[in-house]
Amino acid sequence: MTINAANTVTEQLTAAGRAIEHDSFAIIDAEVGSHAYSDEQWSIVRRMIHANADFEFNGLTEFHPQAINAGLAAILKGGTAIIADVEMICVGLSATRLAHFGLFTHQFISDADVIEQAKAEETTRAVQAMRKAHRLGLLENAIIGIGNAPTALIEVMRLIREENLRPALVIGMPVGFVSAAESKALLAQIDAVPWIGIRGRKGGSTLVVAAIHALLGIAESRQRNVA
């Protein structure tokens, strides 16, 4: 099933670009064969594979049962904030696609007050960036994308457990060797908040971008079908 074959906003802007992307997806489908994901889940996993040519994400990627519907609801209502742990995610997301849905991004990792607080409390900038977003009221009902900093994901988990934070969706895919796998294991234990995650050390900001772009594509398809 091709979920976004007739999309316009969330497709490549040129016919040549669209052909290359569609051919790439067809190659991935052919090489993977059968898989355990739903059609909408697979559209996300496939785009993640497309982002870095790593077929291990077929199997490593996990979904909370409500992840897809929660993410789409947040996108389609408009005005939803996407809070990222690093600027790379914000830069990687298509401004045109975000604008179509009235979405906006925030990241605070390099803010002077975040850096100073991290030094004062001997924590990481990523932790303080999430705390700042929470103080500003930006995390509630937001889509949170974490692709770089395991400490940011651990802090979000703490806020969910201890301060009753309820984001719309957490996309937790930090990469690395210190606490990356552990942070994602914590995410997989969360029931109260929908999430998309990856088992193990692999991850990265490009994967978060790919997952969000895939969700935007599904959202456009749903928009088109109810129009």
Active site residue 134: no
Q: Distance between CA 207 and CA 50 in Å, rounded?
A: 9
User: Where does residue 78 rank: exposed (0-12), middle (13-18), buried (19+ CB within 10 A)?
Assistant: exposed
140-179 CB burial, b ≥16 within 10 A, e <16: ebbbbbbbbbbbbbbbbbebbeeeebebbbbbbbbbeeeb
Bridging pattern class, strands 195-198 and 61-63 = antiparallel
Say how many C-beta atoms besides its own lie within 10 A of residue 27's C-beta: 12
Q: Distance between CA 215 and CA 110 in Å, rounded?
A: 27
Amino acid letter at 122? Answer: E
Active-site pick, 35, 50, 64, 213: 50
CB 195 within 8 A of CB 169: yes
Catalytic residue numbers? 50
